[in-house]
């Protein structure tokens, strides 16, 4: 006779997850796209790149992060290539797909390709995207981030 499932009972098929680092949350107030800080594309992007680069060279590889930046660039280009009067409508059409980058980042985290610090940064920056102008600012932030990240990670 099969035993009923008991909560708390160890499941040998479930892989153990490594403890997550404590998230530092003060950085979120520095990353605002509606009224960007003068240092957003400089010291703020550099500091975030340094944190995301971390000590683990198995996650957050530049090529993996570049895929996220490239997709963000694709969506920003689709919106910004429209005439000014049509950008708001195109943005509204693309926003669900832009926000889907959060799901893709979570999936990459689940596969251990990126870590939680990257996912948190992606989620926060995408939450700041509310119109075509903030989408462009987000693109510039990630462009600066990727430049500093490549400097931090030489692989």
Q: 74 lies in a domain?
A: yes
Whether the per-residue pLDDT at 48 is higher than 70: the answer is yes
Distance of CA 50 to CAs 36, 54, 76, 113, Å?
Answer: 20, 7, 25, 17
Confidence of residue 22 (pLDDT cuts 50, 70, 90): very low
Q: 137 lies in a domain?
A: yes
* Span 80-133, pLDDT tens digits: 999 999 999 999 999 999 999 999 999 999 999 999 999 999 999 999 999 999
Please state the pTM of the whole predicted model: 0.82
Residue identified by tokens 């920003």 is 76
Q: 108 lies in a domain?
A: yes
pLDDT of residue 18: 40
Q: 125 lies in which domain range?
A: 60-152
CA angle at residue 122 from 117 to 124, to 5 degrees? 95
Residue identified by tokens 């499932």 is 5
Q: Which two tokens stand for residue 66?
A: 């570049």
Q: 30 lies in a domain?
A: no
Q: Which residue has the higher pLDDT, 71 or 19?
A: 71
Q: 15 lies in a domain?
A: no
Q: Which two tokens stand for residue 93?
A: 């059409």
155 closest CA partner among 73, 72, 54: 54
Mean pLDDT of 126-148: 98
How far is it, in rounded angstroms, from Cα 59 to Cα 72?
Answer: 20
pLDDT of residue 29: 85
The SS3 of residue 72 is: helix
Average pLDDT over the chain reads 88
Confidence of residue 25 (pLDDT cuts 50, 70, 90): low
H or E, element range at 118: helix 116-127
What residues contact 126, with CB distance under 8 A and at least 6 apart?
A: 98, 99, 101, 102, 138
Q: 8 lies in a domain?
A: no
Q: Which residue has the higher pLDDT, 19 or 59?
A: 59
Confidence of residue 24 (pLDDT cuts 50, 70, 90): low
Counted domains in the chain: 1
Q: 132 lies in a domain?
A: yes
Mean pLDDT of 43-58: 93
């Amino acid at each position: 006779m099969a035993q009923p499932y008991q909560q708390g009972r160890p499941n040998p098929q479930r892989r153990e997850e490594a403890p997550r680092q404590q998230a530092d949350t003060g950085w979120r107030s520095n990353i605002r796209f509606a009224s960007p800080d003068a240092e957003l594309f400089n010291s703020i992007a550099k500091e975030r790149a340094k944190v995301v680069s971390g000590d683990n060279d198995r996650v957050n590889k530049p090529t993996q992060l570049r895929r996220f930046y490239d997709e963000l660039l694709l969506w920003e280009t689709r919106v910004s290539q429209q005439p000014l009067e049509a950008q708001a409508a195109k943005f509204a059409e693309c926003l669900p797909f832009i926000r889907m980058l959060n799901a893709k980042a979570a999936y990459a985290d689940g596969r251990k390709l990126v870590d939680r610090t990257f996912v948190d940064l992606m989620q926060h920056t995408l939450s700041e995207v509310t119109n075509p102008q903030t989408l462009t600012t987000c693109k510039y932030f990630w462009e600066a981030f990727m430049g500093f990240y490549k400097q931090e990670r030489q692989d």
